[in-house]
Every structure is written in structure tokens, then in C-alpha cells.
A = this chain, B = another copy of it.
Amino acid sequence: MSVSTTISLAKFLTKLKNLLKDFLSQDQILDQEIDRFLYETDATSLFKNQAAMVLLPNNTNEVAKIIQAINIINLEIKEFKQENIFKPEAKNLSTINFVARGAGTGLSGGAIGKESSVIISLARLNKLISYDAFNRTAVVETGLVNAHLSAHTKSQKLHFSPDPSSQEACTIGGNIAENAGGIHCYKHGLTSDQVLGLEIVTAQGQIEYLGEFHAGFKNSRLDLARFFVGSEGTFGIATKALVKLQPIPESFITMQISFDSIAEATKFISAVIKAAFRPTALELIDSGAIEAVKAAYQLNLAPKTKAIVLLELDGNNSEIVEEAKLIREEILINFQILDLKTTQDQNERKFLWKVRKGTVAAFGQIAPFWYLYDAVVPRSKIPEAMREIEKISDKYKLKLATVAHAADGNLHPNFLYDPDKDPEVIERIHQASHEIMQLCIQLGGVLSGEHGIGLEKKEYMTFMFSSQELELMYSIRKIFDPDVISNPDKIFPIRICKEC
């Protein structure tokens, strides 16, 4: 942006701020250097960019009024551009856009703005409005933290089932934007399976309602609420949601199984799924991740362990005891294992899970930064994918540690890096990521399991979708947001945005 354009933009942002001051208090408008710095990124370490200001509305009406104010200023910007069409200060001036933000725990850059962006934080829309234990639904403001909803409904033995690793911090609105999954989503479904209805504020600042407000069923036409889930903020801002609550399983059994190779571990995983068991978690941890956790904690792992499978069953106690017995006696018996630990005790369970849930903290002892990637292949291709990802990682001289939601074919390779010691490493990570995406698509996989497209993967959309399909998607996006001011620059490759 040229200096004169920057000055024009600043002038209109000041006008916007003046409009906002009519209904927002001082503490709801953050536009100091430090504020913009604090909101410049999400949990993706590779993307950052500062927005013009950060707003903290208290309720849906304030969200609507903020977006109406942006639309008013954008009209002025358009007039200014028409009147000054040949002047440098108008030529590249863009309209003002907005980016909704929950807790900023996203992993694809979805909540990152730019100089013409207003970040709308939903942090204060954090109320549980009501819940209905019998019909198993809750109405929430979307800034409510995922785990807080479950804490409220725990006494009724109900919970909100999507459980991304960030669930203690991330908001339900963020889960809706990204269609979040989690360790238990193979059995219990993604966020899109749990959303029945939405209150949204459109890109024009109107409050609208999508979906069907009924407990067990939604099958009228068309399912806009479910379709909104996973739109990453490009359809407007969801401010309230009617979500399903699921029964908290009565009991669990956790099995930690050690193998001397990834190949043997993935064969075991295949056998479990083939036999139609439905574990609630089926996690795979590779040698790179094992090395990291071994260095960080006392875990009592068998020597020569090169792969670990964590298998968890949940449900009625006598049922899962029987199921665990069958898995041991009919499946596990056919595999070479180094060790098996089984527990139904909560403390031991936490200890067994340490090898998975402690990975990120353990990475910190190896390198100051880590980049977590989201890759998906058909289950049958996991062994091949793991082998090839290792080759790609070696080719780019990267330190690799992989964990996987194996039942879904959802792999999370992690690259541990230190840009101070190795200044070109970030470029090499981008190149490796590019190759991993190509590999996944080649193997019949998809672009994302649970982290979304955001900034991170938008240029890869063409790997998977035809230009016709991308144009269809973009046309639908424009039905919701004709001026493309609701989280622009996300999901769609730049070429498509320009053409449509």
C-alpha cells in the first residue's frame, strides 16, 4: 500500500472509530500498538499480520451495529474512490473488512486480519443461555469456551462432544467456524454433527436465524446451519448457537500398546477397524514424538518402542470390559507387541495419555518453535503416508514428530524448528507442507481433517477442487457476503477470488 493510500485508509478508520464510540465504551475499542500486536496471530506460528483495531462487543446487537458502521464507512470509501479515481490515494484503497475471533487458538490463520481489518472478538459473548437436559440441547453465545459448556452440564451427565486439544480455551464459535474435531470425533462426530441452529449477523449487519430448533432431528430444507459450520467466518458471524449435548460415557478403558515399528502399529489399527470395533480414541504416536516425550518425562516405556497406539473405549462398563477382552483375545494376539498397559483408573489414564498429550510441551525441550500440520489420507494409506512424510522431512532437513488420529486417517506431522539457528527453516517447512499436501491428495486424502483452510492452505484448494466447484463455493459465499468483507482472503485461492 502506498503512503497516500495508507493515509486515506487511516482517515476512514478514524471516521469508523467515531461512529463506534456512539455505542461502544473506551474499553471495547482496542487500537494501540500493543493491542494490535496481541491479536496479530493465532496458534499457527508461521502467519502473522496486524489489524487496524480490535473490538469487544458485549452482545449480538453490538456486533450488528459494528458491522452496520463498517458498511456505512465502506459506502463513503466507495464514493471517495469514484470521485478520485485517478488519484494515488484512492486507487488501491480497499474497503474495511472484519474478522471474527474466538480465543485465537486456530491452526490455519483463520482469525488473522490485515491493515484494513477490524477484529471482532466474541470473548464477551460467553453466556450459556439455557439448556434442556431431556431433549439434550443447549443455547449458547458463541464466545462461550468449549469446556465451560460441558462443565455447566456435567451434573446432568451431558457434554458438548467436540474436543479439540484446545478445548479448555477455544470457543464454540471457533469450533463452528473451523468445524472442529478432536480425539473423540471418530466415534462422536465433528462440530457440524452437533449444531442444530444459529443466530448470525450477516455481512450487511442484519441479525438472522438459520436452521431448525429441534432436539433430535433436522431434516427440513436446506440445511443452512450445518452448511454455515466450517465456513470460517466468510458467511458472517455466528453469535448464538443451538447445539446438541451428548451423554457423557459412563465408563472408559484406556490401552497403551507399544510396537517396534510403525508398520506393525498401523496394521493393528487396521485390524481393529476392520473388525468393526468403534473405539472412542485410536491414536498413533511415532518414534519422533516418543523420543521427545521420553526426554521430557519418566514414562516407563518398553525399550526399542518405535510406535505407540492409544486405544480408548467408552460406554457402558460391562460392555466395554467385554469389548476390551475381545480386542485383546481376538486381535492383539496376532500382533507382535513390546508392551500393553490397560487401565480404568482416572490417574493412570492421565499417565498413559501423557505420551500423547504431553508431546507439545515436550517439543519445547527440543526446539523453541513447532509447526503442527493437518493431513488426511484414507486409513489404508496411513503406512505409506507416514513413510513418505518421513522422506519429505528428510529431504528438507526438518526435525519431524508425528501423532495421528489414526481411525480417521488424520495425521499431524510436527516440525520442530529454531529460526535463530536456521534462518531458512521456515521456507523449507512451507516447501515440505506443499509436498505433503500433494502426497495426501495423490493418496486419495483431503486438505484438512480439523484445522481448516484459512490462510494456510487456501492455495492448495486447487489440488482438490475443480475450478467449477470453487466457483460454485465462491458464488455461494457471495450470496452471504456480496462485498466480500466478512473474513476476506481466507479459504479461496487468490485466482478464484479475482475471477468470480
Q: Is A322's CB under 8 angstroms from B316's CB?
A: yes
Q: Is A21 close to B, CB under 8 A?
A: no
Contact A448 B135, beta carbon cutoff 8 Å: no
Q: Is the CB of A231 within 8 A of B227?
A: no
Residue of B nearest to A156 (CB): B274
A214: Cβ under 8 A from any B Cβ: yes
The answer to the question of A312 belonging to the interface, with a C-beta cut-off of 8 Å to chain B, is no
User: Interface size on A (CB < 8 Å)?
Assistant: 75
Residues of B with C-beta under 8 A to A206: 468
Contact with B along A212-254 (1 / 0, CB 8 A): 1111111111111011001110000000000000010010000
Most B-side CB within 10 Å, residue of A135, A210, A215, A323: A215
Tell whether A358 is near chain B: CB-to-CB under 8 Å. no
Beta-carbon contact of B316 and A212 below 8 Å: no
Least CB distance, A115 to chain B, in whole angstroms: 25
Task: Determine if A53 is an interface residue (Cβ-Cβ < 8 Å).
Answer: no
**Cβ-defined partner of A380 (8 Å) among B135, B449, B477:** B135
Q: Tell me the A388-417 residues at the B interface (CB within 8 Å).
A: 407-410
Interface pair B319/A407, CB less than 8 Å apart = no
Interface residue A38 (Cβ < 8 Å from any Cβ of B): no
Q: Cβ of A181: which chain B residues have Cβ within 8 Å of it?
A: 219
Residues of B near A466 (CB, < 8 A) are 208-209
26 residue pairs of the A-B complex, CB under 8 angstroms, read A134-B379, A186-B216, A190-B219, A208-B466, A208-B468, A208-B472, A215-B378, A216-B379, A216-B408, A217-B408, A217-B409, A217-B449, A219-B376, A219-B446, A219-B450, A220-B446, A220-B448, A220-B461, A221-B448, A221-B452, A222-B227, A222-B476, A226-B227, A250-B276, A476-B476, A476-B479
